[in-house]
Structure 1
Amino acid sequence: MDQEGTFLTALGNSLSYCSRYRAWAPGHPLKNDDVQDCVVLDSSRMWRTVDCRRPFPALCELYPEKPPDDILRGFTDVDCESIKNNAKKIICVRQKKLYEIYKNSSRADKCALENGIFGE
């Protein structure tokens, strides 16, 4: 940490940049404490500063809901080989490939696919 009182995510973004959620426990973040430079989310859903040398389970990402089901409607059970029209068959194969990419993607990549490819 370069500046006391500034907390960073694993990607190096400021904690205040990556989330609007603010729930510091009373008395936290601790001021002028050179040892407690990490943040944990406690069982009360409050943020607390802790010693970074202490092991804790990792919390990578919170998201309230899965992507809408209708974004993928038609991609999962389509048999492209039965399509006679070559142009439609090519589109079908492309969509099936996109679905496989989507299905195996991270949440951030799914958002990009939903907004960029499926959202067209």
Structure 2
Amino acid sequence: MSFSQAESPLGYRPANYESLNFADAETGRTIHTAGGVFWLDGGRWWVGEGFLDYCDQEGVDPLVESGFGYCLSPYRFGQEFTPEAVVRAGLARWWGDDEEAALAAVREVFSRHG
């Protein structure tokens, strides 16, 4: 896999960055992207050239237009981020309808990563 140089001082951006993850076979470095609009160089998220200007011209929200907001929604940026809030928001559905079991499991995850 080859990478093209990005404006990022630390890393590279995939030449075709419409898929979500790329790995360089030689170095093992991975580039994570969100729909080709954002990419992470290992230290910082970058925005595709012209994307923010396009959103300004069209009057659209960059996080909504790119789908990146959907990808980030479980992290609850700018919102309460507690086990209770995660369960209330329906982000612990893998425990089924047992809200107490979900809350106990999410609390355990929070305590491990505290």
| TM more than 0.5 | no
Give the TM-score normalised by structure 2.
Answer: 0.23
Decide which structure has greater helix share.
Answer: 2
Q: Select the structure of larger CA radius of gyration.
A: 1
TM-score, normalization by structure 1: 0.23
More strand per residue: 2
